[in-house]
Amino acid sequence: MHAIRSVFAPIHREGHRFVAIAAALTLGLFLVSNVAGWIGVVLTLWCAYFFRDPDRVTPTREGLVVSPADGVVQMIEPAMPPPELGMGDDPRTRVSVFMNVFDVHVNRAPSDGRITRVEYRPGAFVNAALDKASEDNERMAVRMTTSEGKDLAFVQIAGLVARRILCGLEEGQTVRAGERFGLIRFGSRVDVYLDAGMVPLVATGQRCIAGETVLADSRTNEGPRHGEVR
């Protein structure tokens, strides 16, 4: 039942016009040929699938940082937060989650807290899987203070084919962990910069579910996790 709901999930409002356009084009293709029309049907269904927006079950204990995106943990490494967020010159642990075109692209808040800064920066559209995408690509950077007073940042990064970042957050806004806040169209990445002392509880190559997978826990003394393909 859960698998069925994930496939036939509601469509995000941002996708309504794309599905409508694809459906209209499909009708026109049927006037040309049945083969072209059925290709249009497949593309319309894929468009609806891409913009799916399933509900998620978010762990609610304070101190947890959940993944803001569906996808694979591309890298975990020390990195400087975006300078426009004013988070100082010390590197922080950065967890990068890469979304391919088949992942859910609705993004969710990683923790309970208050948004303290939202900054957009135009840029390039290189492959989001590359390390330099964090610096070179178009991005929307968000800084927040969690309900426990931790200083976090999360950054939506455009990818090779992504051409629009949507972020509905505003400075001063209060959010809950797992709350929907935006979307990136057609392949992209989200970086999370953890506060000092916070250790990631995921491993490189691990698949994350937005709003559900715990990336870090400020209340644990567990060391970094390592994983292997089995």
pLDDT tens for residues 65-76?
999 999 999 999
Specify whether 195 is located in the same domain as 100: yes
Is residue 11 domain-shared with residue 114, that is, in the same domain? no
Beta bridge partners of 76: 95
CA torsion 56-59-60-61 (nearest 10°) is -170
Phi-psi region for residue 178, left (φ > 0), alpha (ψ -120 to 50) or beta?
left
> pLDDT tens digit string along 102-149?
899 899 999 999 999 999 998 766 665 566 666 778 899 999 999 999
Do residue 176 and residue 108 come from a single domain? Answer: yes
**From 96, 111, 134, 188, active-site residue:** 188
Same domain, 123 and 38: no
Q: Which domain holds residue 36?
A: 2-50
Residues 18 and 80 in one domain: no
Q: Are residues 139 and 79 in the same domain?
A: yes
Secondary structure of residue 206 in the 3-state scheme: coil
Residue with tokens 């920066």: 121
User: Average pLDDT in the 33-58 region?
Assistant: 88
Q: Collect all residues with Cβ–Cβ distance below 8 Å to 73 and sequence separation of at least 6.
A: 95, 96, 97, 98, 202, 203, 204, 205, 206, 207, 208
Active site (annotated) includes residue 188: yes
Distance CA 51, CA 19 (A): 9
Count of domains forming the chain: 2
Quick check: 89 pLDDT over 80? yes
Alpha carbons within 13 angstroms on the beta-carbon side of residue 131 total 7
CATH of residue 145: 2.70.70
Dist CA 207 CA 228 (whole Å): 12
Q: 199 vs 59, 77, 92, 220, 222, CA distance in Å?
A: 18, 11, 10, 8, 8
0.95 exceeded by pTM: no
